[in-house]
Chain A
Amino acid sequence: MRLVVLIACLCLSALSAHAKDQIVVGSKAFTESIILGYVLADIALDAGFDASHRPNVGGNRVVFDAALSGDIDLYIDYTGTLTRETLVGQHLESDAEIPAALARFGLGLGPRLGFNNTYVLAMRRDAYPEITKTSDLKDHPDLRFGFSNEFMDRADGWPALRRVYDLPQTDVRGMEHELSYRAVASGAVDVMVAYSTDANIARFDLRLLEDDRNLFPQYDAVVVYRLDLEDRFPGFVDHLNVLTETINDEQMRDLNATVTLERKSEQQAAAAFVSQRLNLNSADIAQSGFWARLAENTLNHMVLVGISLSAAIILAIPLGLLAFRKPRLRQFVLGGVGILQTIPSLALFVFMIPLVGIGGPPAIIALFLYSLLPIVRNTFSGLMDIPQPLRESAEALGLPGGVILRRIELPLAARSILSGIKTAAVINVGTATLGALIGAGGYGQPILTGIRLADTGLILEGAIPAALLALATQGLFELLERAVVPKGLRLPRANAGA
Chain B
Amino acid sequence: MNAPLAHPKPRAVDNVIELEKVRVTFGTAKNAVTALAETSLRIDKGEFVALVGPSGCGKSTILKLVAGTLNATQGNVFVAGREIGAGAARIGMAFQNPTLLPWLNIRDNVMLPLKIVPPFKERFSAKRKTEYRDRVEASLTQVGLGGFGDKFPWQLSGGMQQRASLCRALIHDPTLLLLDEPFGALDQFTREELWEIMQNLWIEKRPTVLLVTHDLKEAAYLASRICVMQARPGRIVDDSTVPFARPRTIDVSFEPDFVTLTQRLRQRIVAARAVQEIVS
* A and B part of one assembly: no
Mark B residues whose CB is within 8 Å of A: none
Mark A residues whose CB is within 8 Å of B: none
